[in-house]
A and B are shown apart, each in its own frame.
Chain A
């Protein structure tokens, strides 16, 4: 056997021969390409095993060859053979599906072979996500990815970690990876255009590998300075740094070291020809992606801030205009912001809206300061929307709309009159047994919710000065005595009576029935409504449930699930079961229509709770983005003017930076985990009305 690697065409030919019966025949070329980089020994091994497997089942042979490069990365030769055999064994014993799963899960196989524990991201995700959220103070989501890296808005972590013998060790590894990636975003790994500097080196991959290692050293020191407890835990996970780094460590652990220092050191390591050490915890770098995301964020934050400043009357008593030198920077201790006008520190105006404060904080994290251009208030006409616009297709309907509503067009700064056509209808009943089934499944939870709700209902109230009642009202009696003594006619209303506390509240729940809720969001919505109904029934508040969906402005559908006057009966239950995912989310019009229903309620307090799974959206470009957000915001403001309080619950794993602005005077909650919705919704309602 010669040492020469097989070329693509040769591989293709041989693969063709061994996988002759493969239904995936056409992808053989691609397969050959990926195998071309393997050493000859490994190539031969793949061809051998692919042939053996294909004799059992062609599809397995093909899958095996596809996964081979990854398997060789994680396993030695012996391990590779064992992996293939475990797949074939699974086929013999359990069939095709289990065999494919067995082969795909190479990490799991490695872990089992090494006797290590397996920890899944799903198990630690929530805790990590909150940890990172706590550290960063701006949205930074945790997501599953091929390997550990960050684009500065998401931290990607491997789905599975199986490095340590204990699950605790794996969890600490996850935490270390997450912390270092957070530190990349916090301590400026991407504050210079790394991509541009990478051009200096021929071997880009090796350069990136070294840079990731050097940055890990630098960031580890930064973490140690601010979060010593975390750093100690991380030191345990990583063990001592490799010997070859010792000179670099002295340089990079200085408090003033930046990413430029890491970049400067790169030359030495690259010319040495060494391969960067594989540090599982350090993650990899994708500077291009990070640079892009960061640039977009900076622009967004800058615009948010400028827009907010434009609406401010003055800053710390000083008027803002081009003639003043305004600067905003992080206070010395790294926390808090300092605003200077003409060099003089002023208090941050408390009326700077929270989204603007958040934007300023975020800019400081990215740039070390708020750049001057972000401090020039946006003037009229300077605020250029980035979203494209264009009319969506207009769909005719076979009947006239039940209602028409205006819609806010932020381009014009005016309403479009009678723009949206609303059709109101009842939800088609779903499975009759659904609600009972859910209620049974969540029996304990429902009991818990009912109990909490009963607490809200509060104790009954004593009504004093009644003509009769179960107790004597001492105040009234004393007055009566005093009156009699003074010669006046004493009142006979000297009793107190227990009455149920009158809450006088009407609540309307507006439920997203758009296409994107299909699946678990829809399930969660329905379950949430069931728990809510069970809870509110215990309270006796007036409430209604409506769904909404639609397809362009000419087809805005409002689905009645439970009207205010409907009892929570079999018909309502089957309509809850019938809530389903339909089309789009044009939110503004739904809010306007339901506001009208709510405003007609004779109660003292009125509450609108919206439930959606992301930003407003409709078919075509028109409603998407800023337009929809501004319209929704206006609809909520209109509701507010009519004395209606709104609360928005959004399920959005992306984090929802737009929400703060959109909901304006309303309040909101973002849920990143769908399964929390049922309990959460009931809880929100309880909190809002306690």
Chain B
């Protein structure tokens, strides 16, 4: 098929992203890719899901299309729409359609945020049919073998209104992510944050202490992402306590008492 004049540019992952494997997720993902199965990434915020997909896209040499889902996301936002160019109407592929045509990896981040009627467009794509229905054009776009759909969600997010329907989730191979074991997390924080192992170890310890408070006043403990942020501030010359207060304590809560507790923990470590 001839590409449309307005086909969106697809981002390619040029350089190898740094990704520290945590378990057998790389092998699982590759197997799913070979078998043309879509993947579901479950895990708390900031534990490396997005980074993992970028890494896999690089590793499999596929373009990566990422869509951050939100509750106003319509089917047209995913599939495409007509635009008026001069006197003419021109069809513009949405990111999902573009990804299908190009045999890319399409990553729908935080799928639960999207409206239910939007999510159903992925159904025919994610079973043995592997086609995308572009209703407005009356077109059925078959997915090439190297197309792969990946979605993510955070099961800790407990809204009753936002659960994945069983008919959706049962189409996916599920990969479970969690905060990595201490040694691995130290490596990530040291590499990403540019700090020495010693400092990284302390930050990881802090992460562990805050995770102990989950459900005791905190919805979530500090993610790897927050620890990396703190490390980056420290690398830039901030004092560790100040860096952790800003990047961890205040990022985790608005509650004054809880902030004090977190600061107590920060000071206990440094």
Whether B84 contacts A481 by the Cβ 8 Å rule is: yes
Q: Is the pair A690, B161 in contact by a Cβ cutoff of 8 Å? A: yes
Q: Are A347 and B84 in contact (CB-based, < 8 A)?
A: no
Establish whether residues A130 and B89, one from each chain, have CB atoms under 8 Å apart when the complex forms: no
Which one of A133, A334, A350, A688 lies within 8 Å of B178 (CB-CB)?
A: A350
Number of interface residues of B (CB under 8 A): 47
Q: Could you say which residues of chain A place their CB within 8 Å of the CB of B261?
A: 127, 130-131, 134
B31: interface (CB < 8 Å): no
Does B217 belong to the interface (CB within 8 Å)?
Answer: yes
- The reply on B205 being an interface residue by CB < 8 A is yes
| Alpha-carbon separation in the docked complex, A478 to B181 (Å) | 54
Known contacts being A227-B268, A688-B160, A690-B161, is A333 close to B183, with CB within 8 Å? yes
Residues of A within 8 A of B266 (CB): 229
Known: A127-B261, A134-B261. A687 touches B159 (CB 8 A): yes
Q: Quick check: which of B44-52, B141-149, B188-196, B206-214 contacts chain A, the rest being far away? A: B206-214
Interface membership of A86, Cβ < 8 A: no
Give the contacting residue for A127; candidates B81, B178, B257; CB below 8 A: B257
| Alpha-carbon separation in the docked complex, A690 to B208 (Å) | 28
Query: Is A267 on the interface with B (CB-CB < 8 A)?
Result: no
For A112-154 the 0/1 string (1 means CB < 8 A from B) is: 0000000000000011001101111100000000000000000
A230/B267 contact (C-beta < 8 A), A133-B212, A336-B181, A481-B84 known: yes
A482 with B212: CB separation less than 8 A: no
A229–B161 CB distance below 8 A: no
Give every chain B residue within 8 A of A478 (Cβ-Cβ): 81-84, 89
**Inter-chain contact B212/A336, CB cutoff 8 Å:** no
B183 partner, pick from A331, A461, A475, beta carbons under 8 A: A331
Q: When the two chains form their complex, are residues A475 and B160 in contact, meaning their CB atoms are under 8 A apart?
A: no
Taken together as a complex, chains A and B put the C-alpha atoms of A478 and B268 apart, in Å, by: 63
Contact A475 B82, beta carbon cutoff 8 Å: yes
Interface string of A473-512 (1 = CB under 8 A from B): 0010011011001000000000000000001010000000
- A689 to B161: give the CA distance in the assembly, Å: 6
Considering only residues 175-224 of chain A, those with a C-beta below 8 Å from chain B are 175
B201 at the A interface (CB under 8 A)? yes
A350-B176 in contact (CB<8A): yes
Tell me whether A670 is interfacial, beta carbon within 8 Å. yes
Interface size on A, residues (CB 8 A): 46
Collect the chain A residues with CB atoms within 8 Å of residue B267's CB.
229-230, 233
* B258 contacts partner chain A, Cβ-Cβ < 8 Å: yes
Residues of A within 8 A of B182 (CB): 331, 333-336
Interface string of A592-610 (1 = CB under 8 A from B): 0000000000000111000
Q: Tell me if B24 counts as interface (CB < 8 A to partner A).
A: yes
**B89-A331 in contact (CB<8A):** no
Report A-chain residues with C-beta under 8 Å of the C-beta of B268. 131, 135, 227, 229-230, 233
Residues from chain A with Cβ under 8 Å of B89 in the complex: 478, 481-482, 485
**A134 adjacent to B213 (CB under 8 Å):** yes
Question: Hey, which bits of chain A sit against chain B, CB under 8 A?
Answer: 126-127, 130-131, 133-137, 175, 226-230, 233, 331-336, 347, 350, 458, 461, 475, 478-479, 481-482, 485, 503, 505, 605-607, 645, 647, 667, 669-670, 687-690
Known A-B contacts: A134-B212, A478-B83, A479-B136. Give 16 more (CB < 8 A): A130-B216, A130-B217, A137-B209, A228-B269, A229-B267, A229-B270, A230-B267, A331-B183, A333-B182, A335-B204, A475-B82, A481-B89, A605-B160, A605-B161, A687-B158, A690-B161
- Measured CB to CB, the residues of B under 8 A from A are 23-24, 71-72, 76, 81-84, 89, 136, 158-161, 163, 176, 178, 181-183, 186, 201, 204-205, 208-210, 212-213, 215-217, 219, 241, 257-258, 260-262, 264-270
10 contacts between A and B (CB under 8 A): A127-B257, A127-B261, A131-B265, A134-B261, A136-B212, A347-B24, A478-B89, A485-B89, A688-B160, A689-B159
